[in-house]
Each structure stands twice: as structure tokens, then as C-alpha cells.
């Protein structure tokens, strides 16, 4: 099979965003390259999406066989971007798989009509989105595995914000429109 025909790009439908650094890049660690990134939570009940992700990871290993010394590696013995959220001490991740995706290029961020989202508060940790990702093999300084590139983001629904942040409308009540003469 020609490596060009291996499908490594996947549309992840209705995933929950966590740690979305999608408006401005940031370094993942001190001295690291600045990247746009997000953690993408996939409900464990979404077996169709999980099958596509697992196949794309296998395809990325096949396409990147040269980075693995000419042999397709055992995926259980190399690092892949797919993780089990039940293994994290974070309630939001429970019942989900998650993928950390990043890119040096800014993602396009659009609404349900594919119009660009301008208000950065519209897309936040906890909202739901369709996200395109691309899996690829890497071999850097002896560390080999499969990584996940962040593509574009389409917000599809609001969700409970992660991290305890509240909205101004839930924190405050409207002020009285009557003008009190507090100087009298």
C-alpha cells in the first residue's frame, strides 16, 4: 500500500475541549517551541470515533515506518497520543479517552455555520466541538512514537465550563435602574 493512501487525518465529532490554547500559542514546557494545543475528550461510548482514531494511529505507524527503523512497531510499546481519562485524577476526564493535539499553525475556529468565531470567550474549556486532527510518526532524540497534530475547530455546543470558571450573569444580578440620590 502506498503511504500516500494511508488515512491519518480524522474528524473527531462532538469532543469536549480541555486546556484549549487555541487563540495564542504557548510553550508546552520551559524552552519548548510555542504551539496551539488542546486536550480532546472523546466519550468512551463513541466506539465509531474510537475505531477511526485507532485505525489512523496504525496508519501513521505504517506511513512513518522509516522513522521506526523500517519495521512497523508494536503500538503497545511506543508512545501514542491516545490516553484513558479514567487514569487521570480529574473528574472531567472520567468516562472518556483523550488526545492531546498541537500545532505550530493556528487552527481556524468556526461556528456551526462555518463562520469564523471572533469572540474568544465563545470557545472555552468545557464546550463541545468538531475537531480535525492528523496523526504522524516521530523520532526525536531516540524518542519514537505517534503524535497528533491539531487541525481546525468547529464549536457545536456549550458545556459546563471546566476549571470552576463562572459567567458574569451567574455571578451578578442586574442593578436597579432607579437612580438613588445617594448624595442627598
In a domain, 102, yes or no: yes
In a domain, 101, yes or no: yes
In a domain, 17, yes or no: yes
Q: What is the dihedral of CA 83, 89, 90, 94, to 10 degrees?
A: 60
Whether the Cβ atoms of residue 165 and residue 119 lie closer than 8 Å to each other? no
The CATH number that applies at residue 39 is 2.40.50.140
In a domain, 179, yes or no: no
CB atoms within 10 A of CB 181: 5
Grid coordinates representing 89? 485524577
Distance, CA of 132 to CA of 15 (rounded, Å): 11
Number of separate domains in the chain: 1
- What pLDDT, on the 0 to 100 scale, is given for residue 175? 85
- What pLDDT, on the 0 to 100 scale, is given for residue 29? 77
CB atoms within 10 A of CB 146: 25
In a domain, 83, yes or no: yes
In a domain, 184, yes or no: no
Distance, CA of 96 to CA of 1 (rounded, Å): 33
Whether the Cβ atoms of residue 109 and residue 153 lie closer than 8 Å to each other? yes
Give the residue numbers spanning the domain of 27.
3-163
- What pLDDT, on the 0 to 100 scale, is given for residue 1? 44
Q: What is the pLDDT along the chain (184 residues), one digit of tens a residue?
A: 445 567 999 999 999 999 999 999 998 777 789 999 999 999 999 999 999 999 999 999 999 999 998 999 899 999 999 999 999 999 999 999 999 999 999 999 999 999 999 999 999 999 999 999 999 999 988 889 999 999 999 999 999 998 766 667 778 888 876 555 555 5
- What pLDDT, on the 0 to 100 scale, is given for residue 18? 97
In a domain, 180, yes or no: no
- What pLDDT, on the 0 to 100 scale, is given for residue 168? 74
Q: Are strands 96-103 and 82-84 parallel, antiparallel or unpaired?
A: antiparallel
Amino acid at each position: 500500500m502506498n503511504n500516500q493512501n494511508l488515512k491519518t487525518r480524522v474528524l473527531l465529532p462532538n469532543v469536549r475541549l480541555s486546556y484549549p490554547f487555541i487563540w495564542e500559542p504557548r510553550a508546552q514546557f520551559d524552552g519548548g517551541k510555542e504551539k496551539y494545543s488542546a486536550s480532546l475528550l472523546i466519550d468512551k461510548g463513541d466506539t465509531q470515533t474510537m475505531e477511526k482514531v485507532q485505525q489512523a494511529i496504525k496508519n501513521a505507524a505504517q506511513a512513518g515506518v522509516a522513522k521506526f527503523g523500517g519495521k512497523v512497531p508494536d503500538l503497545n510499546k511506543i508512545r501514542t497520543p491516545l490516553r484513558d481519562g479514567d487514569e487521570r485524577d480529574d473528574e472531567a476526564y472520567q468516562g472518556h479517552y483523550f488526545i492531546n493535539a498541537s500545532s505550530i499553525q493556528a487552527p481556524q475556529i468556526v461556528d456551526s455555520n462555518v463562520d469564523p468565531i471572533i469572540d474568544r470567550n465563545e470557545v472555552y474549556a468545557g464546550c463541545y466541538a468538531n475537531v480535525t486532527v492528523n496523526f504522524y510518526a516521530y523520532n526525536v532524540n531516540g524518542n519514537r512514537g505517534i503524535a497528533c497534530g491539531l487541525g481546525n475547530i468547529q464549536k457545536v455546543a456549550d458545556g459546563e465550563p471546566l476549571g470552576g470558571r463562572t459567567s458574569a450573569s451567574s455571578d451578578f444580578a442586574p442593578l436597579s435602574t432607579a437612580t438613588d440620590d445617594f448624595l442627598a
